[in-house]
Structure 1
Amino acid sequence: MTSMASKAPAKDAPTGGGLRGFVDTNSQWISLVMRILLAVMWFWYSVGKLGSPESNAQNVRDFRLLPESLVTPFGYAQPYLELALGLLLILGLGTRLVAIMSALLLLVYIVGIISLGARGIYISCGCGGSGGAVTKGHTRYTLDVLRDLLYMLPAAWLIWKPASKLSLERALLGDPI
Structure 2
Amino acid sequence: MARVGLAAVFLIAGGLKVTDLAASGRAVNAYQLMPYETAKVVGAALPFLEITLGLLLLAGLAVRLTASIAAVVLVIFMGGIAWAWAQGLQIDCGCFSKGGELTGGRTTQYGLDILRDVGFLALAGILLVKPRDRFSVDNLLMGDA
SS at match of 2:96: coil
| Count, aligned residues | 144
**Match status 1:149 vs 2:118:** yes
Distance 2:86 2:41 in 1: 26
Where do residues 120-131 of structure 1 align in structure 2 (5 Å cutoff)?
120-131=88-99
How far is the alpha carbon of 1:130 from its aligned partner? 2.4
Moved more, 130-139 or 86-95: 130-139
Moved more, 89-98 or 159-168: 159-168
Larger Rg: 1
Could you tell me whether the CA contact under 8 Å between 1:39 and 1:89 is conserved in 2? Answer: yes
- Counterpart in the other structure of 2:32: 64
Q: Which runs of 5+ in 1 are unaligned?
A: 1-32
Q: TM-score, normalised by structure 2?
A: 0.93
Q: 1:58 to 1:34 in 2, by over 3 A?
A: same
Could you tell me whether the CA contact under 8 Å between 1:103 and 1:156 is conserved in 2? Answer: yes
Q: TM-score, normalised by structure 1?
A: 0.77
Q: Look up the equivalent residue of 1:108 and give its one-letter code.
A: I
Q: Which runs of 5+ in 2 are unaligned?
A: none
**Match status 1:47 vs 2:1:** no
Moved more, 167-176 or 91-100: 167-176
Where do residues 98-137 of structure 1 align in structure 2 (5 Å cutoff)?
98-134=66-102
Deviations, residues 50-92 of structure 1 (Å, cap 9, x unaligned):
1100000000000111233421211111000000000000110
SS at match of 2:100: strand
- Of 94, 114, 132, 1:163 maps to 132
SS at match of 1:56: helix
- Counterpart in the other structure of 2:46: 78
Q: 1:69 to 1:130 in 2, by over 3 A?
A: closer
Could you tell me whether the CA contact under 8 Å between 1:46 and 1:129 is conserved in 2? Answer: no
Q: Look up the equivalent residue of 1:100 and give its one-letter code.
A: S
Moved more, 124-133 or 106-115: 124-133
% identical aligned pairs: 35
Distance 1:34 1:141 in 2: 24
Distance 2:107 2:40 in 1: 27
Q: Let me know the Cα RMSD of the aligned residues.
A: 1.6
- Counterpart in the other structure of 1:94: 62
How far is the alpha carbon of 1:41 from its aligned partner? 0.5
